[in-house]
Structure 1
């Protein structure tokens, strides 16, 4: 009988994952990860992790499986929270959920599970694991999209390695969310109607802006509105000798100075804002809402443009340095000079878009067929072939 440790989060997805594994004949152990205990940064005086761990315990009791809470808050602080603040201070936008899976659930947590004699670690992610053979007949693990198009969470696992995938199970990947809720209702689980958590990965009810404001000091600066007719957007296009020159040209972000537009308002810190953001600018008197088109954390200036079609929001090429490049399917990785047509996305909820990967000496260019809105440094681009996620990288 193989032993599986399930990360019980106190939500419906991991609850049903544990039940399905039981049905498949595994010996199941439930562990709840306590990743945060600084109560000064939750929004309300509720204690979300206590409520969640209590629900997880009730589910374990109902299923008749062993349960315990593991405190990973020290590792979470060092690997996720400190990294996040550091990235925001540099004017980049990290994705804590992707990091949490790579660094916490499938690393620190996985090590604990394996010490408990587990063969596998399971989570309630909507994705699937496949196995194929490489040319040498060795097993190669695939990360595939969940069957529920509306809930596919493979993006959040885009940084997993072959080693991590070899020990991972995703029991609900073949189900839709309504089917999962239905199973939970039939079992009368306390989590059956519980709303999905909207907070940071395993921190609970924490909204990011409030979280950042409690750690990064406010600093007053100006918001500069840049007109869409600005000459920055009408640069002369040079004649390119090579494809790489062309990609390098189009991957450059627009650069602005305080004289690029008119000062329309003040803000409390450029590091609180990210490209594409609309909320929180508090500027009135424009026909269409303003969007952040760039942040300059050094000069503490936010550049904004009117309307979601503003040219300052769009680019079709991005770059990932070799140091930040990650292939789940190492056997399909590109050599310098090679290219590959894929489907790619730069954020979780975005539909997959046609793109081409170009591997060059220093890294990889991703050229989208259509311009993408708000390509933001620090976030992850992930690329697929059909329903399989092949790799990802941090946008430079």
Structure 2
């Protein structure tokens, strides 16, 4: 009987994952990760960890499996929270959920599980794992979840072969509706529970307040750039080589406050991210204002009217060599090579046609169609059909 440690989060997905594994004849142990203590920054009604750990315990009791809580708040603070502050300070927008999976669930947590004699770790993610052989050696594949609306492979885009080899995703073949149905049939307390939103495990955090603990507010200007500005009218130059073209396609517009007009004030450029519409508190424009660029150096936020503003769109992005990750190292492309893939730059986005170009400088991802709000610090993940084969941090 193989032993599996399930990360019971107190939600319906991990509850059903534990139930299915038990049905399949595994010896199942439930572990709840406590990753946060500081109640001052959560909206406590929205998902306090106490309720979650209680629900996880009730599920374990109902399933008749051993249960315990592990406190990982120190590692979480060090690897996720401090990293987030660091990134925001640099004017980048991190993705804590992707990091939480790489650094906490499938690293710190996995090591604890293996020390308990586990053969596998299981989670309630909507994705699937498969196995293929390359040169006679087993290679693990990370596949999209069957429920297209819930597919969470994006959040696992930084996993390694070793981590995948020890992981199970019991609900990956199911639709969310089926998961809820199983939970109701088994009379699990989480059957009707709403999906948690907000930072991985912290619950719903008020991000500006959370950031303000570390990053001091600093008043600056909100500048509106008109869509007819000269900067957007430039003809595409001719290129003497591929690298020049890639650099051009992935480069950002460079703004100066003189390019537009001041339409308001903000409390710190590091609190804002590209594509953001809420929180600007500037009214009176025919179309809503969107953030098109932030400058933490000058503490200026650049905005444009309407979601079709040309400043929002770009066709390519670059990933630096140290931030490029291949889930399938055997498929990695070498310098000068390219590969057609489908890629996404955020969780809910439908996959987009794209081409990868490996260069000395890093990996360029060039999309067929311009993409809205390509944001530094976020992850881009690329697929071949329904297999996620690699990812990287947008630089």
Structure 2 length-normalised TM: 0.99
Query: For the Cα contact (< 8 Å) 2:154–2:347, is it kept in 1?
Result: yes
Query: For the Cα contact (< 8 Å) 1:379–1:395, is it kept in 2?
Result: yes
Local SS of the residue matching 1:254: coil
Return the alpha-carbon distance in structure 2 between the equivalents of residues 10 and 47 of structure 1.
10
Local SS of the residue matching 2:154: helix
Question: 1:130 — aligned with what?
Answer: 130
Q: Within 5 A, what are the aligned runs for 1:1-396?
A: 1-44=1-44, 48-134=48-134, 136-396=135-395
CA-to-aligned-CA distance 1:152-205 (integer Å, 9 cap, x gap): 000000000000000000000000000000000001100000000002101123
Local SS of the residue matching 2:314: strand
Structure-2 change in CA distance of 1:365 and 1:46 (3 Å): closer
Local SS of the residue matching 2:248: helix
Structure-2 change in CA distance of 1:305 and 1:140 (3 Å): same
Gaps of 5+ in 1: none
Gaps of 5+ in 2: none
Offset at residue 237 of structure 1 (A): 2.8
Instruction: State how many pairs are aligned.
Output: 395
Point out 4+ residue stretches in structure 1 off by more than 6 angstroms: none
CA-to-aligned-CA distance 1:229-280 (integer Å, 9 cap, x gap): 1111122432201122101111100011110100000001110000000001
Return the alpha-carbon distance in structure 2 between the equivalents of residues 25 and 210 of structure 1.
46
Local SS of the residue matching 1:340: strand
What RMSD over aligned residues (CA atoms) do the two structures have, in Å?
1.0
Return the alpha-carbon distance in structure 2 between the equivalents of residues 66 and 44 of structure 1.
28
CA-to-aligned-CA distance 1:36-71 (integer Å, 9 cap, x gap): 001111123677111000000000000000000000
Offset at residue 107 of structure 1 (A): 0.1
Return the alpha-carbon distance in structure 1 between the equivalents of residues 202 and 47 of structure 2.
10
Return the alpha-carbon distance in structure 1 between the equivalents of residues 366 and 196 of structure 2.
34
Query: For the Cα contact (< 8 Å) 1:358–1:366, is it kept in 2?
Result: yes
Offset at residue 27 of structure 1 (A): 0.2
